[in-house]
A and B are shown apart, each in its own frame.
Chain A
Amino acid sequence: KAGVTQTPRYLIKTRGQQVTLSCSPISGHRSVSWYQQTPGQGLQFLFEYFSETQRNKGNFPGRFSGRQFSNSRSEMNVSTLELGDSALYLCASSLVQGPSTDTQYFGPGTRLTVL
């Protein structure tokens, strides 16, 4: 069974631009979560989607948004990019909502660099 895939793997943008990252969960998984990983702030939860609905959200500004499609694929969008948005963005999928009830499987991440 294929794992979680994220595209693109690497991305370079300039300040003020916007970016869309994509995550394809493991087949059959309905929950997708997004995390931001930076050297300064570590791993931080962005949001979780289940059955096309945002179920939980972390403490990020409104420039960060996401959505989930009927096939469970998810996208996250960051508008008006800032230098501090440079990070590794990780996506994780699970069968059901929440890691306490089911194992989350992580993708390899998208490395975003903002210049």
Chain B
Amino acid sequence: AQSVTQLDSQVPVFEEAPVELRCNYSSSVSVYLFWYVQYPNQGLQLLLKYLSGSTLVKGINGFEAEFNKSQTSFHLRKPSVHISDTAEYFCAVHTDKLIFGTGTRLQVFP
């Protein structure tokens, strides 16, 4: 069975600092990987996705993620965060349905 592990439930960081949100997945078959962001009282918004091809995926709002098959990881990175990046971030894997991780709350401080 597929599963997704987000290793950090909360990540505090100062504005303009770099950030990495970690995600590991388990699957015995080829997977498609996603990162979503959820702002307070809103639905989910797709940040980026990996389907195939280049292992470095660039998304919206300056985020990027790297697919590492040998380490079964899909970590999300941003070189310089803003206050407005404060939100909940979800990693997800799709085979026949979307399976989400438990989420990482990114808190950006001024």
**Chain A interface residues (CB < 8 Å from chain B):** 4, 33, 35, 42-45, 48, 56, 58, 90, 92, 98-100, 103-109
Q: How many A-B residue pairs have CB under 8 A?
A: 47
Main secondary structure of the interface of A (DSSP, over half): strand
B94 touches A98 (CB 8 A): yes
The number of chain B residues with a CB under 8 A from chain A is: 22
A42 touches B103 (CB 8 A): yes
A42 touches B101 (CB 8 A): yes
In this complex, the member of A44, A56, A99, A105 whose beta carbon has the largest number of chain B beta carbons within 10 angstroms is A99
Q: Which residues of B contact A56 (CB under 8 A)?
A: 96-97
A43 touches B100 (CB 8 A): yes
Q: At the interface, yes or no: B67 with Cβ under 8 Å from chain A?
A: no
B102 touches A42 (CB 8 A): yes
Give the distance in Å from the alpha carbon of A99 to the alpha carbon of B36 in the complex. 12
Contact of A90 among B43, B97, B103 (CB under 8 A): B43
B44 touches A106 (CB 8 A): yes
Give B39-54 as 1s and 0s: 1 = Cβ < 8 Å from A's Cβ atoms. Answer: 0011111100101000
Contact of B98 among A45, A107, A109 (CB under 8 A): A45
